[in-house]
Amino acid sequence: MSLAQTVQEYLEWEEVPYDVISHPCTYSSLATARISRIPAKKLAKCVVLGDGYGYLMAIVPADRNVDIAHISQTLQRDFALASEAEIADLFYDCLPGSVPPVCEAYGFDSIIDQQIWNARDVYFEGGDHEALIHLDGKTFRQLMASAELGDIKLPPDYRHSVSPVSHSLQSLCRSTD
């Protein structure tokens, strides 16, 4: 269990109190919430979007999906999911699939869903698949003060095809057992 160096240095620079919670290796935000016994609505999941102008971190609860079309329309851009290769380059000190939603630490703009913004406590991946960072809601909002705010999650009953978890993430968790 270790935090991404960029995240750890950023939190220390900002002098914010935080807790680190270790958990067994998981390969999805929802699985992390379940195994850590944290309500999924309090676990912030970061989805990296990109277009010809740059990247945007979209932050939603672990049990919801990002409404990319709504974000594109709201910001008048044409976003798509960033590729795994792009994410690996941008978040060089994080394992695949464990991007922390602290946009300022990595120098990216972000948009955050109201539900996470309003949470009393917020949890998020620390850069690997075995450590969560816990912040009280007020501290999280202070760190995310530059983020756009909106209702950016798809409805819970939205039917979509879920892509299978990449084999690289599954093997990553198996190799750390």
DSSP 36: H
CA 69 remoteness from chain centre: 19
Residue 139 lies in a domain: yes
Q: Where are the beta strands (DSSP E) in the chain?
A: 19-22, 43-51, 54-61, 80-81, 109-113, 121-125, 131-136, 148-150
The per-residue pLDDT for 96 is 85
What per-residue confidence (pLDDT) applies to 161?
Answer: 37
12 within 8 A of 48, measured Cβ to Cβ: no
- Is 129 part of any domain? yes
For the chain, how many structural domains are there in total? 1
Tell me which DSSP letter residue 69 carries.
H
For residue 13, give both structure tokens.
């620079």
Q: Which residues contact 2 (CB under 8 A, 6 or more apart)?
A: 126, 127, 128, 131
CATH number of the domain that 75 lies in?
3.90.960.10
Q: According to the model, what pLDDT value does residue 1 have?
A: 53
- Name the residue range of residue 23's domain: 5-154+168-175
Report how far residue 169's alpha carbon sits from residue 73's, in angstroms, rounded to the nearest whole number.
32
- The verdict on residue 163 lying in a domain is no
Segment-wise mean pLDDT, segments of 10 residues, the chain, 177 residues: 88 96 88 92 95 95 92 94 94 90 92 95 92 96 92 66 43 49
pTM of structure:
0.86
Residue 52 lies in a domain: yes
Confirm whether 161 is domain-assigned. no
Q: What is the pLDDT of residue 156?
A: 64
pLDDT tens for each residue of 26-53:
888 889 999 999 999 999 999 999 999 9
Predicted confidence at residue 107, as pLDDT, reads 92
